[in-house]
Structure formats: C-alpha cells, structure tokens
Structure 1
Amino acid sequence: MNKASGGFQLTLQSLSLVVGFMAWSIIAPLMPFISQDVNISGNQLSIILAIPVILGSILRVPFGYLTNVIGAKWVFFCSFIILLFPIYFLSQAQTTGMLMTSGFFLGVGGAVFSVGVTSIPKYFPKEHVGLANGIYGMGNIGTAISSFLAPPIASIIGWQTTVRSYLVVIALFAVLMFLFGDAKEKKVKVPLIEQSKRLFKDLKLYYLSLWYFITFGAFVAFGLFLPNYLVQDFGISEVDAGLRSGVFIALATFLRPLGGILGDKFNAVILLMIDFSLMIVGAIILGISNHILLFTIGCLLISICAGLGNGLIFKLVPFYFSNEAGSANGIVSMMGGLGGFFPPIVISYVTMMTGTSHLAFILLAIFGTIALLTMMHMLKRNKVSTV
C-alpha cells in the first residue's frame, strides 16, 4: 500500500471530509425532532442552525495553513478527536444554550474542507487538479447523508441515540487517518504573514471569495434551513423534508467534480458567468412563487448551479495562487462557509418583518448579479483566455 499515492490519499481524505460534514450538519435534519424536546423560539432556531458555520468558516484559514506546515494527516486526526466532544455534548442537550455550544464546536467538522483542497493538489499535475479537487469536494455528501439517514433513524431510536452513533464513525476515521495518513506529505513553510501580504494585494482573491460566498453559501444555507422550512411552510413530514433536502445536497455534491472537469477543459470564468446567470433565474423563481412545485424547480436549479460553481471556483484557486495555496484555499473556503451563516438568519428576519421569505431569495439574485459584474471585470482586466 502506497500512502503517498494520489489516488489513495484522495480516497482517504474525501471519505474523511464526508465524516466531517456529517458531524457539521447533524443539527439541521434533526431539528424537527429536537424542537419537540427543547423549547426553541423562531429567532433562536435560526441562530442554532447557523452557528456551526461560524467556527467551521473561521478555522478554514488556519487549517489550510497548518496542512502545509504539518500535513493533512495530523490536521484531520486532531479534528476528529476534537469532534468527539461536541457530538457527545449535543446528545445530552436539554437547553438552547447547550445546542448553541455544541453546534459552535461542531464547526470543526466543516473546517476540515480546507485540509484536502490544500493537500490533494500536491499529488496531481496541474491539468488534473480541477478534477481531483472536485472529487474531494464530493465529501460534501456527508451533509446529504445526515439529511437522508438521520431523520428516519431518529424516528426509530430517538435523536439523542442517533447523535451518539456518530461517535463510532468519527473515532473509526481518527484511527484510519492515524494509520494511513501520509506523514511524508510535501510541506510548504512560507510564513503566514508573508503569504497574507501577497494575497490581500490581489483582487482575484476578493472576487473568488465573493463567488464562493454565494455558491457554497447557497449549498450550506439551503441544507440548513430546508428541513425545518419545508415542514413549517409546506406542511410535509419531517422524514419527507429530510429526503428533499438530501436530494438538494446530493445533486450539488455530485455535480461538483463535473464543474472541476469543465474548468480543466474550458475557460472557468466564462462558465461561471453562465452558471451564475442560471442561479439568478432559480432565485427569482423562489422569490415570486408559493407553490411547492415551483419552489422545487427553483431549489433544484440553484442546487445544480451551486455544485458546478463550487467545482469551477476551486479549479481557479490553485491556478491563481499556486505558491500560497494553503492560505488562499482557507480564505476562499472560509468565505464560502460564512455565506451559509447569514441566509438562515436573513430568512428568519425577512419573514418576521414581511410575513414571507420571498425578499430573501430576491437578495440572492441581487448578489448573483453583482458577482456577474465582477466576472466581467476579471475577464477584461486579466484577459483570461484559457484556464
């Protein structure tokens, strides 16, 4: 067994990302069950759903940097050990404070995303990085696994026992990473301050961060708010809502590698312009419709565009920032995570003030339009011909 094999590390790290995202997203699909045992107001609900995103976003920058310094093996291993504690604490939660505290530290599961996108490109030639990162990004399917499996399991054994079952999976992957992680991974020890100075002078970093704020933010946000939103606004069952949310997440996840492949072969910025145009259409559909069929069409269109867009953007990050990949990956992925933090809160407050969530979806269309303008500017400014 060759631990330094690109294929082996891609498989191990992708599966590790699945587990990290399973833990990161566990609260949202179980919320219909948790809310039966814990008294949660509407505002508290939006905060509880969004709070795992905070640490999961902020830690992506140091995790990306640490991956270059000590290697993916040890960042993943330590992350899994840490995750055991908030998972157990969540299974004991009896108050909103306990839910918020455990949710905050579950953010470690989301932060591991920047580990693989920093490590995996070291094992592949540049022309295959988009595909490799796209395959790694399929680890986002962990969110769909929680959405698909957690509600039906919780309906049988209870949500507390369902949460505790995650302890076994996380502990198993801590052992696998300890045994099979590549301790000899290439290290890049450029001082963080020096990397940051270079990065923050480059306009491309800000553009890529904005784009990922929208695409990955939509992926995270819809995964967070859809289960409870579908139950409350359309009156469907908790299990049905979990399955529908899982379809959204799975579709976006499986299309991510295709985005990477297309980015390897064609101009990724032009493809992103097409992608965002369609996402704007999907957001407008959500912003003007009340029927579940139109709502489903709008969600599926956004899911497709979010998945392809995620893959395209992480083709561009290592292309533009090959010498500062760890920090750049961390910053861009942090912004993507933060993009998932705000929408559930915005939807809650917009609904409270206007009686409907439509304006929140129109805001997504507005942000998408702003992103389109920045893509046009990048094409003109850098004269990108092939990516």
Structure 2
Amino acid sequence: MKTNTGKFQLPLQTFSLMAGFMVWTILAPLMPYITQDIAVPESQKAIILAIPVILGSILRIPIGYYTNLVGSRIVFLTSFIILLFPVFYLSQAQSTTGLIVAGFFIGLGGAIFSVGVTSIPKYYPKEKHGFANGVYGMGNLGTAVSAFLAPPIAGFIGWQHTVQLYLLVLVLFAALMFIFGDKQEPKVKIPMMQQTKLVINNYKLYYFSLWYFITFGAFVAFGLFLPNFLVGHFEIDKVDAGIRTGIFIAIATLLRPIGGMLGDKFNALNVLKLFFISIIAGALILSLSQHILLFTIGCLTISVSAGIGNGLVFKLVPTHFNKEVGVVNGIVSMMGGLGGFFPPLVITLVTSMFGSNHLAFLLLAIFGVIALLTMMHMSKIEKRA
C-alpha cells in the first residue's frame, strides 16, 4: 500500500525524529557548561537531566493516538512549533528552576517518537514492519548529534547560543513537514478508550512494555548520565566525554534497523532472548568495573544489545497488534521513556548511599533476568496457540 509514498515518508519522518531527539537530550551534553554559569547542586543534576523524560514519556500515548486520528504531518508540525518556546526559554535560564521548567516542556521532543512507529507501518507490508520501524528508530541519532556537536560548539559560542541554534533546526523541520508531509495518510478513527479496552487485558502489552523499559530505557539513561559521570568519575575532558557518549548512542541507534531486520527474518522473540542475555552480561561487567577499560566494554555491550533489542521490540508490536497499534505504541514507548527516567536517579541515590554505583548496574542485570523469564513464558503460550 502506497509504497512509493512510504519510501519518501520514511526518511522525512526519520530525520524529523532526529531533530526531536536533538532537542530532547540537549541538557545532558551541555550540563558541564551550564554548571559553570548556574550553581547546580550535585543532588539536583540527575533530576534536571531526567526531567525531560517525564513529558517525553507520558505524551507518547496521546501522540500515538492522535497520529492515527489526524496523521503524522499535523502532529510533527504542531510539536515542532510548540517546542520553539521551551527551547528559547532554556537559552535564557539563570537558575535550577528555569532549567527544570524548560527541561520539562522540552520533553515533547522525545514524545514524537510515537508518531513514526504509528505512521510508518501503514506504508509497508507486515513482513517489512521490523525494517521500517528500525530505520525510523535511527532518528534516535539525534541524541548522538547533540552529544558530539553541542559540547565543542558551546566551547566556542557558549551554551546559551548553542541552545538557540536548535531553534533554527525546529523551524527547518516544521517547514519540511508542512510542505512534504503526507496529507493523504490513512487515518484510524477508533476512540482512545475503545482502543485501550481492546488491549488492556492482553498480557503481551505488559511484556512488550517491560522489554522496552529495559532496552530503550538503557539507551536513554546512558545517554543522559554518561557525560557528567565520565567527567566527574573518570575525570575525562568534557568534549571527550561527549564523544564517548555519542559513540554509545550511535552504535545503539545504527543497530536498531538490524534488530528489525533480524525480527523480519527469524523468530523475533527468540532473537530478543539472546540479546537480553547480552544485556545481563554487560550489566554484570559494569557492576564489577573499577577501570575505564572494563567500564567501556560493559557500556559497548549494552549499547549493541539495547540497540538491536529496540528494533526487535518494535517488530513485535505491529505483528501482535493491528488497529490498536497507535495506543499500544504509545504505551510501550512511554514505558521505554520512563525506563530512561529512573536509572540516573537510582545511580545517584545508590552512589550517595554506598559510595559506589555497582549495585545500580546489578539491578539492571536483575531486571534483565526477569524480562528473560517473561519471554520464556510467552514462548510457551505461543507454542500452545
């Protein structure tokens, strides 16, 4: 169905997601510079970095629903226009309160993830959903773009002017979506409550949410806490820390379509089990690491596993849900976003209580084991069906 339109909409929506994620994660790479001008207590840094994740997670449900209702063009366009206001406000912030307020509303940049995963599958046959959603998920590279570019630019022109450059990005993509967005996109007009009732008792919704809570949560959480953590814990240069974080993000993002393609070719659930074993291994390495080399190996292991895992989960969602995919995408992706909210806070709390972050990474391994058990449970049910 409308494959030619899909071939154009896929890159347009992917780059639009990239712009949204650039904005959504702008605070993390700039925090070492912001704290030179604004006195941010150490205990509040994790909160400020995690704040954008709240709105970026919660809004994914209504945004997924409204994408089905009015189409991706209107939702992307409206989101980019709204984002102009908190981004400008952030560039003027002079206190921790200003950073928190701006960060909260900037969360909308992360919520637009639900647009493409709801819209893009409409243009492709079922056997291509994993690939299409995987390519769209590469828009997560926006996080890496900010991690790579924001620190060196801030070193030249200051963090405030760096933030203002993002206004130009938003205006550009609002214009592109206004001109080239698909005005004829198929709409699904099932009331949200009706869609929710259709899926609320389906155990797969909760399993998919847990798996994405871990895979995408790890992606977001590491992207948020690594810049500040590497500077403070390993005394790495601010730009170097941004580059290392960008590499983590880039690997996870570029491997996402590989996860989708693996899900198209093989049994997605079985492949996902393998990469969750890898996540558990990476978390155990981090829980034992005292040296930057071992820490890097653990981070890269999780980066590869989480990236492929993200692609696999969003191969499973449209495979097991059809007309309710907007609401399900919203719920699952919301849980993924929330998965990125809690870890930085947990790491900060655990470190302050025990003087070490190792227990926090052990908790990630435990969550991975729980997820693995749920996958085995689903496999048993699927075999009986």
Q: TM-score, normalised by structure 1?
A: 0.98
**Letter matched to residue 138 of structure 2:** M
Match in the other structure for 2:110: 110
Match in the other structure for 1:14: 14
Match in the other structure for 2:132: 132
Matches within 5 A, 1:213-292: 213-292=213-292
Residues in 1 aligned to 2:93 and 2:3: alpha-carbon distance in whole angstroms: 40
Matches within 5 A, 1:136-147: 136-147=136-147
Match in the other structure for 1:157: 157
> Would you say the 8 A contact 1:3–1:180 is kept in 2?
no
Matches within 5 A, 1:344-383: 344-383=344-383
Alpha-carbon distance, 1:382 to partner: 1.7
Residues in 2 aligned to 1:316 and 1:30: alpha-carbon distance in whole angstroms: 35
Alpha-carbon distance, 1:383 to partner: 1.7
> Would you say the 8 A contact 1:42–1:348 is kept in 2?
no
Match in the other structure for 1:23: 23
Alpha-carbon distance, 1:384 to partner: 8.3
> Would you say the 8 A contact 1:118–1:326 is kept in 2?
yes
Sequence identity percentage: 66
Match in the other structure for 2:49: 49
**Letter matched to residue 363 of structure 1:** L
Secondary structure in 1 matching 2:255: helix
Equivalences, count: 384
**Letter matched to residue 222 of structure 2:** F
Alpha-carbon distance, 1:132 to partner: 0.5
Alpha-carbon distance, 1:110 to partner: 0.1
Residues in 1 aligned to 2:329 and 2:79: alpha-carbon distance in whole angstroms: 18
Residues in 2 aligned to 1:366 and 1:95: alpha-carbon distance in whole angstroms: 38
**Letter matched to residue 162 of structure 2:** T
Deviations 1:46-89 (CA, angstroms, capped at 9, x unpaired): 10000000000000000000000000000000000011011100
Residues in 1 aligned to 2:291 and 2:228: alpha-carbon distance in whole angstroms: 17
Say yes or no: does 1:205 pair with 2:205.
yes
**Letter matched to residue 52 of structure 1:** P
> Would you say the 8 A contact 1:3–1:181 is kept in 2?
no
> Would you say the 8 A contact 1:3–1:9 is kept in 2?
no
**Letter matched to residue 250 of structure 1:** A
Matches within 5 A, 1:45-124: 45-124=45-124
> Would you say the 8 A contact 1:60–1:331 is kept in 2?
yes
Query: 1:181/1:160 Cα in 2 relative to 1: closer, same or farther (>3 Å)?
Result: same
> Would you say the 8 A contact 1:4–1:184 is kept in 2?
no
Say yes or no: does 1:183 pair with 2:211.
no
Residues in 2 aligned to 1:289 and 1:307: alpha-carbon distance in whole angstroms: 22
> Would you say the 8 A contact 1:3–1:182 is kept in 2?
no
> Would you say the 8 A contact 2:3–2:123 is kept in 1?
no
Alpha-carbon distance, 1:381 to partner: 1.0
> Would you say the 8 A contact 2:208–2:313 is kept in 1?
yes
Residues in 1 aligned to 2:265 and 2:239: alpha-carbon distance in whole angstroms: 40
Residues in 2 aligned to 1:290 and 1:7: alpha-carbon distance in whole angstroms: 47
**Letter matched to residue 88 of structure 1:** F
Deviations 1:8-38 (CA, angstroms, capped at 9, x unpaired): 0001100000000000000000000001111
Secondary structure in 2 matching 1:383: helix
Residues in 1 aligned to 2:106 and 2:238: alpha-carbon distance in whole angstroms: 23
Residues in 1 aligned to 2:261 and 2:5: alpha-carbon distance in whole angstroms: 21
Unmatched segments (≥5 aa) in structure 1: none
**Letter matched to residue 161 of structure 1:** H
Residues in 2 aligned to 1:230 and 1:310: alpha-carbon distance in whole angstroms: 25
> Would you say the 8 A contact 1:65–1:326 is kept in 2?
yes
Alpha-carbon distance, 1:41 to partner: 1.1
Residues in 2 aligned to 1:115 and 1:257: alpha-carbon distance in whole angstroms: 17
Residues in 2 aligned to 1:383 and 1:363: alpha-carbon distance in whole angstroms: 31
Q: TM-score, normalised by structure 2?
A: 0.99
Residues in 2 aligned to 1:45 and 1:204: alpha-carbon distance in whole angstroms: 36
Say yes or no: does 1:36 pair with 2:36.
yes
> Would you say the 8 A contact 1:262–1:312 is kept in 2?
yes
> Would you say the 8 A contact 1:279–1:365 is kept in 2?
yes
Deviations 1:350-380 (CA, angstroms, capped at 9, x unpaired): 0000001110000000000000000000000
Residues in 2 aligned to 1:195 and 1:177: alpha-carbon distance in whole angstroms: 28
Residues in 1 aligned to 2:298 and 2:191: alpha-carbon distance in whole angstroms: 44
Alpha-carbon distance, 1:258 to partner: 0.1
Secondary structure in 2 matching 1:68: helix
**Letter matched to residue 49 of structure 2:** L
Alpha-carbon distance, 1:183 to partner: 1.1
Alpha-carbon distance, 1:341 to partner: 0.1
